[in-house]
């Protein structure tokens, strides 16, 4: 059976309107604008209101992506959503989005891979498209992390923001330059406890005590993760370039997960990239986990930096621990 080539047909983003600045955070915990800027590169982030859930942001981003594509909602035959902050533990946010889009019958599921979620989701969608099992896939990354943030923990609460990005993946026809060339995903579960939402699952069901102890919020040992993140993101980008015969010099863009400007800079340095080859928007949105790569990608397409045919590496690292990369021509 011949394999189909796959491309990203369109991509779009959705973010809540409300902005939470470093100055706002100074009023909540013992922190400073200077510490947050110099240690993370973040200046502000978006925060959703109490009525907004993950599916609302995905739906908004998906509608925008569909408008930019010739593919209609009724043509979508698979939905894959990367999130760790879905509307509910079940049903999946993908099923809720399917219903919001007014379509029925196509398979729809969520995947959990922390901040690497969008890379994992693209990898899964590519396989389904490549083998001809489906023709058009909605892939999204979404996170409402501010609803599982411990607002008393200055080590984490300054980092996270909300947002979503959605892409329509479809077959690349003969002669088209756009193509998802290769994907790489990896994980090491032995580090799982360094970044965890401890309660709310079968290990530690929700109780009065878990709520009182803030165990439904993000726990992260940031400085231990930092070193692993730098190495894994560098490795992931290096592996995908090398095995496809490219170097950093060939790249138009690196679109990295936006967790920390120092991690992004270290990755860019390892690949010998110039600053003008790296898409960065961490100063506006903070760390939006699964949403960060599609959000940065969509924004750069909107403002004309990323153009059709550009050679791009998407590169992520997150809870699990997980990491991965995608090499594509947009």
> Would you name the residues annotated as active-site residues?
115, 257, 287
Distance CA 193, CA 180 (A): 33
User: CB–CB of 46/19 below 8 Å?
Assistant: yes
Q: What x/- string results for residues 305 through 324 when contact with ligand ACO is judged by CB under 6 A?
A: ------------xxx-----
Cβ proximity to ligand ACO, 69 vs 85, nearer residue = 85
Residue nearest to ligand ACO (CB): 222
Question: Which parts of 175-204 interact with ligand ACO (CB under 6 A)?
Answer: 195
Beta strands in 17-153 (DSSP E): 19-21, 44-46, 78-82, 108-111, 136-144
Question: Which one of the spans 51-59, 69-77, 150-158, 273-281 is the region binding ligand ACO (CB under 6 A)?
Answer: 150-158
CB of residue 317 to ligand ACO, shortest distance in Å: 6
Distance CA 185, CA 181 (A): 14
CB of residue 281 to ligand ACO, shortest distance in Å: 16
Residue 225 makes contact with ligand ACO by CB under 6 A: yes
**218-219-224 Cα angle (round to 5):** 130
How many CB atoms lie under 10 A from the CB of residue 28? 13
Cβ proximity to ligand ACO, 66 vs 121, nearer residue = 121
Sheet of 311-318: strand order equals 179-187, 322-329, 311-318, 253-256
Among 68, 204, 222, 302, binds ligand ACO (CB under 6 A): 222
CA quadruple 24, 42, 294, 219: dihedral positive or negative?
A: negative
Residue 219 makes contact with ligand ACO by CB under 6 A: no
Place of tokens 């058009």: 136
Instruction: Give 198-257 as a DSSP string.
Output: -SSSSSS---HHHHHTTTTS-EE-HHHHHHHHHHHHHHHHHHHHHTTT--GGG-SEEEE-
> What residues form DSSP beta bridges with 142?
164
For strand 108-111 and strand 78-82, is the pairing parallel, antiparallel, or unpaired?
parallel
Query: Distance between the two ends of the chain, CA-based, in angstroms?
Result: 26
Cβ proximity to ligand ACO, 36 vs 185, nearer residue = 36
CB of residue 240 to ligand ACO, shortest distance in Å: 19
Cβ proximity to ligand ACO, 93 vs 178, nearer residue = 93
Residue 150 makes contact with ligand ACO by CB under 6 A: no
Distance CA 65, CA 320 (A): 29
Size of interface with ligand ACO, in residues (CB under 6 A): 24
Cβ proximity to ligand ACO, 132 vs 201, nearer residue = 201
Distance CA 94, CA 103 (A): 12
Among 147, 154, 231, 270, binds ligand ACO (CB under 6 A): 154
Name the token pair of 305. Answer: 């930096």
Cβ proximity to ligand ACO, 16 vs 114, nearer residue = 114
Q: What x/- string results for residues 262 through 301 when contact with ligand ACO is judged by CB under 6 A?
A: -x-----------------------x-x------------
Residue 115 makes contact with ligand ACO by CB under 6 A: yes
Among 26, 43, 63, 155, binds ligand ACO (CB under 6 A): 155
> What residues form DSSP beta bridges with 8?
169
Cβ proximity to ligand ACO, 72 vs 152, nearer residue = 152
User: CB–CB of 140/166 below 8 Å?
Assistant: yes
The residues binding ligand ACO (CB under 6 A) are 31, 35-36, 39-40, 114-115, 154-155, 158, 195, 222-223, 225-226, 229, 259-260, 263, 287, 289, 317-319
């Amino acid at each position: 059976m011949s394999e189909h080539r796959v491309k990203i047909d369109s991509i779009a983003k959705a973010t809540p309107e409300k902005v939470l600045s470093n100055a706002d955070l100074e009023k909540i915990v013992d922190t400073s604008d200077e510490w947050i800027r110099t240690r993370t590169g973040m200046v502000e982030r978006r925060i959703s209101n109490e009525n907004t859930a993950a599916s609302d942001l995905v739906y908004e981003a998906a509608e925008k992506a569909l408008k930019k594509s010739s593919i209609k909602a009724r043509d979508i035959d698979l939905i894959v959503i990367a999130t760790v902050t879905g509307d509910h533990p079940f049903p999946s946010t993908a099923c809720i989005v399917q219903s919001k889009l007014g379509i029925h019958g196509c398979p729809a599921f969520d995947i959990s891979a922390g901040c690497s979620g969008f890379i994992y989701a693209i990898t899964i969608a590519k396989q389904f498209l490549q083998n001809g099992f489906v023709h058009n896939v909605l892939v999204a990354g979404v996170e409402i992390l501010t609803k599982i943030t411990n607002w008393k923990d200055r080590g984490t609460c300054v980092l996270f923001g909300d947002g979503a990005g959605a892409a329509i993946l479809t077959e690349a026809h003969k002669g088209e330059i756009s193509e998802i060339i290769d994907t790489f995903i990896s994980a090491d579960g032995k580090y799982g406890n360094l970044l965890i939402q401890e309660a709310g699952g079968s290990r530690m069901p929700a109780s009065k005590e878990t709520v009182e102890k803030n165990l439904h919020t993000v726990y992260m040992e940031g400085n231990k993760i930092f070193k692993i993140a730098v190495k894994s993101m560098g490795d992931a980008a290096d592996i995908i370039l090398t095995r496809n015969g490219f170097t950093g010099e060939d790249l138009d863009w690196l679109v990295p997960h936006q967790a920390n400007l120092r991690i992004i800079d270290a990755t860019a340095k390892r690949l010998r990239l110039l600053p003008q080859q790296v898409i960065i928007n961490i100063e506006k949105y903070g760390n939006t986990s699964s949403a960060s790569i599609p959000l940065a990608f969509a924004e750069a397409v909107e403002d004309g930096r990323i153009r059709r045919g550009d050679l791009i590496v998407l590169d992520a690292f997150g809870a699990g621990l997980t990491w991965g990369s995608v090499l594509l021509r947009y």
